[in-house]
Amino acid sequence: MRRTAHVWAVGCFCLVVITIGQAAWAQSGPSGNVGFRTEFLNHFKSSSGKMLSLAEAIPADKYSWRPASGVMSVAEVLTHVAEVDLEYLSSSLNLKPPADLDPKSLAKLQEKDQVVAALRKTFDFVRTTVEKMPDSEMEKTTTLYGRSSSYRNVLLQLLHHSAEHVGQSIAYARMNSIVPPWSR
């Protein structure tokens, strides 16, 4: 009886240690770094990865598809995300996008290969920008939608906006009988 209680206690202890370890790893990522930048990049990797995999999974002939008149097409949703991501970084964080990514011309892209390429370049620009940004810059103040905001908050808004359109893109794909790649 005493041995059973001891084994049970050791088992519970091990379970708690494993659970805490997994929670810490999930928060910090495999590198062990904890902080806003790491957390942002983990979420951004997930969101941008889903958006890109959907963009690649949707056939080129569906890029002009829209669920109703006056609603953004598949291509327009994807270029909108790229345009707004670039706008957040250029207008609120005062960063110049790469020369081959003009936010104002993205809306004109309609062909799948052009849209996917622009989306990929935009996501790479966001990721590399945040990777290079020192932690001290995250609390700098700027303007977002006419109000004072931290750089950190601008990046959170970017994530929120992208996630909203990932959901929209999932709905578009499903309405066209396309199963998101991660659900197959």
Which pLDDT value is given to residue 21? 45
Which pLDDT value is given to residue 92? 93
Average pLDDT over residues 119-146: 94
Which pLDDT value is given to residue 100? 87
Do 125 and 117 touch, CB atoms closer than 8 A? no
Which pLDDT value is given to residue 121? 96
What is the distance between the alpha carbons of residues 133 and 140, in angstroms, rounded to a whole number? 11
What's the whole-model pTM score? 0.80
Closest CA to 60 of 113, 109, 108: 113
Sorting pLDDT into bands at 50, 70 and 90, what band is 1?
A: low
DSSP SS3 for 150? strand
Which pLDDT value is given to residue 7? 40
Which pLDDT value is given to residue 102? 86
* H or E element, residue 142: strand 141-144
Q: Is the dihedral of CA 65, 69, 70, 71 positive or negative?
A: negative
Which pLDDT value is given to residue 31? 53
Which pLDDT value is given to residue 173? 96
Q: Is the dihedral of CA 29, 119, 60, 171 positive or negative?
A: positive
pLDDT in tens, 71-118: 999 999 999 999 999 999 999 999 999 888 988 889 899 999 999 999
Sole residue written with tokens 């902080």: 35
What is the distance between the alpha carbons of residues 8 and 16, in angstroms, rounded to a whole number? 12
pLDDT in tens, 25-40: 444 445 556 789 999 9
Average pLDDT over residues 38-50: 96
Sorting pLDDT into bands at 50, 70 and 90, what band is 139?
A: very high
In this predicted structure, the answer to whether residue 19 has a pLDDT above a threshold of 90 is no
Q: What is the CA radius of gyration of the chain?
A: 21
